[in-house]
Amino acid sequence: MNLAAPDTGAAGAPLPRGERPGPSGLPRLLPSAGERLVDLGAHLDRFGPLPPLARLRVRRDHHPLIGMVERAGLTGRGGGGFPTARKLAAVAAQRGAAVVVVNAVEAEPVSAKDKTLCGLVPHLVLDGASAAAEAVGARRIVVVAHPTVVTTLRDAVRGRAGRDLDDVPIEVVTAADHFVAGEESAVVNWIEHGSSVPTSSPRRPFEEGVERRPTLINNAETLAHVALIARYGEDWFRSLGTDAEPGTILVTARGAVTRPGVYEAALGTAISDVVRAAGGPVGTPSAFLVGGYFGTWIEAAVAHAPFSREGLGPHGASVGAGLLLAMPSSCCGVVETARLVRYLAGQSAGQCGPCVFGLRAISDELVRVARREASPESLSKLRRWLGEVEGRGACAHPDGVVRLVRSALTVFGDEIERHMSGGCGARHPEQSALGLPSVRSL
């Protein structure tokens, strides 16, 4: 994968905390050069071991790492953007030994940030999990990983054995190959019962998760940031990004960009600058899908918007899971959305009516619009069904689809009108930027 900028930090022998400078520029998370796996020796040369602070045996609710993470302002990088320190503190406040789960499922087919992170710098992720385990009083760490990086992570765990790097045992579990498999309760269900569907238990994982113990579930990228904060501190972390949203984020850039790949950017970087880091646009994009398959379509004209929750909020969007897809002008946004919604309707857990019936009805109507076979009532039916589905699912899956479709009805409004009249403005509507089935199968 491609990196956004060269590393300006110095590598070398580990220095005590406060004397070892962190990398002052980009990248922070990914290797400074090349695309090779960073083995344990190279990892320790660059970062050194975790400082004693991360391994202090103190009262869980007074662990200094939690305060550092809070002052750093780190939020989850898995899509929800929840304050990481609040998760840590919630688990630490519970009674009994906790469990830490590294969520590296990355179930969105075109997202690659967690696979890249775990495949290239697995020890940074494992460091973060180990530090978090000490902070919350965990006695078990489970990494639930995409199948493509399981071997790399298991090799990394074996390589750390006997090196006094981890006080808590680490196991690696292969994730299920299903879109909703990365949802928190689905991850717990998979570890416990081998079923990758969300559950509707009234108790949250931080209260009762794996083994009915307090369970911290964090995205792989989030924990990699925890490992760096433990080494370099909150001021270093906040030196990039914005005051409201400090730090960096991994972005999977796809679609009409010259060099698709994973890039690290400071939060608040303009969308156009992320595209530039990916080699620039191919042609003139007609729109952007930001945040992931549960994300939001935004108009190409707002490419100046900062890639942050605050910057994208006025456009009804958020950074989500860090996906940025530039829609080629030759493709049809209506067809692409219909294709994507059909995929998402087929990926539901099938546990409740809004998913089983609501998403299928929405998908079928969108396909009719894409095929230019819609009735005059199609759009009114779609809007009514979106309102009926929203907020009524057993998990957030229906709400993600609703958000996506509503944004498409706005951004591709003119193109929808063409389809309703039997036309299409795209030169090659059969082409797809999403890596999903051909329009001929719609």
CA 274 to chain centre: 17
Per-residue pLDDT of the chain (442 residues; tens, 9 = 90+): 333 432 223 222 333 333 456 778 899 999 977 678 999 999 999 999 998 876 666 566 678 999 999 999 999 999 889 999 999 999 999 999 999 999 999 988 889 999 999 999 999 999 999 999 999 999 999 999 999 999 999 999 999 999 999 999 999 999 998 888 999 999 999 999 999 888 876 688 999 999 999 999 999 999 999 999 999 999 999 999 999 999 999 999 999 999 999 999 999 999 999 999 999 999 999 999 999 998 999 999 999 999 999 999 999 999 999 999 999 999 999 999 999 999 999 888 777 877 888 999 999 999 999 999 999 999 999 999 999 999 887 777 889 999 999 999 999 999 999 999 999 999 888 888 887 655 456 6
Cβ contacts of residue 296 below 8 Å, gap of 6+? Answer: 289, 290, 312, 315, 316, 317, 318, 403, 404, 407
Instruction: Name the residue ranges covered by the structural domains of the chain.
Output: 40-238, 248-327, 333-441
Q: In the prediction, which pLDDT does 15 show?
A: 30
The DSSP bridge pattern shows strands 98-104 and 138-145 to be parallel
Other Cβ atoms closer than 10 A to 106: 27
Q: Do residues 201 and 208 touch, judged by C-beta distance below 8 A?
A: yes
Dist. CA 32–CA 305, nearest whole Å? 27
pTM value > 0.85: yes
Q: Domain 248-327: which CATH class? A: alpha beta
Closest C-alpha among 235, 277, 223, 238 to residue 100: 223
Q: In the prediction, which pLDDT does 7 show?
A: 29
Return the structure tokens found at 291.
């945040």
Instruction: Give the type of residue at 177.
Output: D
Cβ contacts of residue 159 below 8 Å, gap of 6+? Answer: 39, 40
CATH topology (fold) of 333-441: de novo design (two linked rop proteins) (1.20.1440)
Cβ contacts of residue 340 below 8 Å, gap of 6+? Answer: 293, 404, 434, 436
Q: Do residues 349 and 197 touch, judged by C-beta distance below 8 A?
A: yes
Place of tokens 């057993």: 394
The verdict on domain 40-238 having CATH code 3.30.70.590 is no
Helix 113-120 / helix 122-136 crossing angle, nearest 10 deg: 100
Q: What angle do CA 77, 221, 65 make, to 5 degrees?
A: 90
